[in-house]
Amino acid sequence: MKITCTQENLNQGLNIVSHIASKNTSLPILNNVLIKAEKGILNLTTTNLEIGINCQIRGKIEKDGSYTVHSKLINDYVNLLPNQKVLLEQKDDNLEIKTEQQETKIKGNSPEEFPLIPQVTRSEVYSCKINEILKAFSQVLLAVSVSETRPEISGVYFNFKEDLLTLATTDSYRLAEKKIKLKEKVKTEKEVIIPAKTIQELFRILSNLTGQNERVSDEESNSGLEIYFEDNQVLFVFDNVELVSRIIEGQYPNYQQIIPSDYKTKAIVNINDLIKATKTAALFSRTGIYDINLELDKNGVTVSSTNNQLGENRSKVESIVTGEDNKIIINYRYLLDGLQNIDASQLIFEMSDESNPCVIKPAESLPEGEEPIASEDYLYIIMPIKQ
């Protein structure tokens, strides 16, 4: 194997694939990146047996071949090289890396030991815009369960129906649901649960690619992320990157039944004002409980907390409140997670009573003089803390 490429291209490719290669003592080959030059294409591949990532990079291939070397080591080394041409050549048990000023040998392993990455047939494609899926991931990942006792809620629920993709997550204490438009109406409706770690890795890669490259950000983000399914595998394809992952088996809970169908009290609140009031009240919440009180009446929303050791705090937030006077005790961390991920200046807060969940939705701005209405594409539900 003998390859020449730019430091910039090699560095970007290694940054994309190296993140999932971690310290694995039982199967050391998983710490490596597979470098493969074949038919004029240079591929970098890593896997942790749950997720596999492949990235094609541009380069001049003088001799086909493949080899594996320690992923973090080569990534850290290439990151320190100057932005010039890099020569990679396998000789015996080493990968030689040469630039104009430097020459390095990294010991490696045979590619025959490297696990096979599952191949997903690209039969039916489900496609959505990059910028929209990134925003959706940021709004739902906050509510995914970190517990492995219920595997079905440790992932992100995907529902493809007609021209809509619905994403949902819950950890039993809160729930987030986001709807985005697909680029085309689907031929086959589909419901799957994809591991949260897969979506977090995809979010990281897409954020890095769109953030580093303005051309990608402007043009590609409005083209699409392609998604393919086969058996219990999912394949995500964007630009020169492929990510394949297993799918979580099982049935996602029927979360629709816990979404309140009506409410007794509704408030239209400025998000920044509510964030400040929540952070202030949080200083006096009880350790380990993280409780704050929300009181809604015709004068607005009052956020308060009391701590016998520290003191107490009350903040009034100007709001338009309709319906009955009401109150609820919730976890301030869950509230802040939702508020900080809503892309709007105002929100709609709905609740029935202190025993039932409250619902938060972004408020859509309307012409001056008209009351804002709730957006239909995102909702965030928080269960109350019962005394």
Q: What is the mean pLDDT of residues 109-120?
A: 95
Same domain, 279 and 335: yes
Instruction: Supply the pLDDT for residue 215.
Output: 41
Provide the domain limits for residue 292: 259-382
119: in domain: no
Same domain, 205 and 224: yes
Instruction: Supply the pLDDT for residue 222.
Output: 53
Confidence of residue 236 (pLDDT cuts 50, 70, 90): very high
Counting the structural domains of the chain, the total is: 3
Same domain, 328 and 289: yes
Same domain, 365 and 246: no
Same domain, 184 and 290: no
Q: Which of 253, 273, 295 is the last residue of a domain?
A: 253
Confidence of residue 223 (pLDDT cuts 50, 70, 90): low
175: in domain: no
Same domain, 265 and 247: no
Mean of pLDDT over the chain: 94
220: in domain: yes
Same domain, 276 and 364: yes
Same domain, 206 and 151: yes
Instruction: Supply the pLDDT for residue 326.
Output: 98
Confidence of residue 371 (pLDDT cuts 50, 70, 90): confident
Q: What is the pTM of this model?
A: 0.93
Same domain, 300 and 350: yes
Q: Which of 253, 277, 295 is the last residue of a domain?
A: 253
Q: What percent of the chain has pLDDT over 90?
A: 90
54: in domain: yes
Q: Which of 253, 275, 300 is the last residue of a domain?
A: 253
pLDDT tens, 1-60?
999 999 999 999 999 999 999 777 789 999 999 999 998 899 999 999 999 999 999 999
pLDDT tens, 160-216?
999 999 999 999 999 999 999 999 999 999 999 999 999 999 999 999 988 755 444
Same domain, 335 and 349: yes
Q: What is the mean pLDDT of residues 364-376?
A: 83
Instruction: Supply the pLDDT for residue 387.
Output: 74
Instruction: Supply the pLDDT for residue 276.
Output: 98
Q: Which of 181-195, 205-219, 221-235, 322-336 has the lowest mean pLDDT?
A: 205-219
Q: What is the mean pLDDT of residues 358-372?
A: 86
269: in domain: yes
pLDDT at 220 over 50: no
90: in domain: yes
213: in domain: yes
Q: Are 303 and 292 in contact (CB under 8 A)?
A: yes
CATH of residue 367's domain is 3.10.150.10
Q: Which of 21-25, 295-299, 303-307, 328-332 has the lowest mean pLDDT?
A: 21-25
Same domain, 131 and 154: yes
pLDDT tens, 58-106?
999 999 999 999 999 999 999 999 999 999 999 999 999 999 999 999 9
Same domain, 161 and 269: no
121: in domain: no
Q: What is the mean pLDDT of residues 290-318?
A: 97
